[in-house]
Structure 1
Amino acid sequence: MLDEVKEVVETATPLTEEQFAHLGGGSLAYVRALRSEDVSRLFPQAPPLQPGLELFALLGADGTPIILTDSRDAALANALQQELQTVSVH
């Protein structure tokens, strides 16, 4: 079985940078914890926030910001409402 996996990996066509950037677009998302001091980088339209808050952003597979909230559960619920499958990113 290991030889079969190795053969698939060796013969797979690599994705272009553009293909990789669109992988999972519109169907995958991830939740990212961030500090209030970093919010303006992802959400430039956000009002000034109290420093030191832990917030959660729901981001599309390509990193596009979708929603900012104060709870991870709310971010996951929003993904569910939008029929997005959340994935773990390490």
Structure 2
Amino acid sequence: MVYLHSTFQVHSIEDIPGTAFVGGEPHPNFVSLKIYHIARAFKIDEAKRNFMAAVDEIFNPIFELKEMEWEYFIAESSRDLWKNKWSGTTTA
């Protein structure tokens, strides 16, 4: 079982078939994911690698079963640029 001790969001927006391009060519079985890692930042490279390995462990079986190729991008923000309606604060 994969446990990601972190705050992150994965956004999935379905595109119209034929609008995904890889290397300038249309790709019918392609997924591009954007992962927003918010409120925390990876402090060491090992943490980044571990997080990405956990993401791979989650998504690889799903997309391999569907014979899809995929990529992802992880965007981070610092804690002082994150605010939620519950805390009303931008500091830890």
Larger Rg computed on CA atoms: 1
1 or 2 for the larger relative contact order (CA 8 Å, sep ≥6)? 2
Same fold (TM over 0.5): no
TM-score normalised to structure 2 length? 0.21
TM-score normalised to structure 1 length? 0.21
Higher share of residues assigned helix: 1
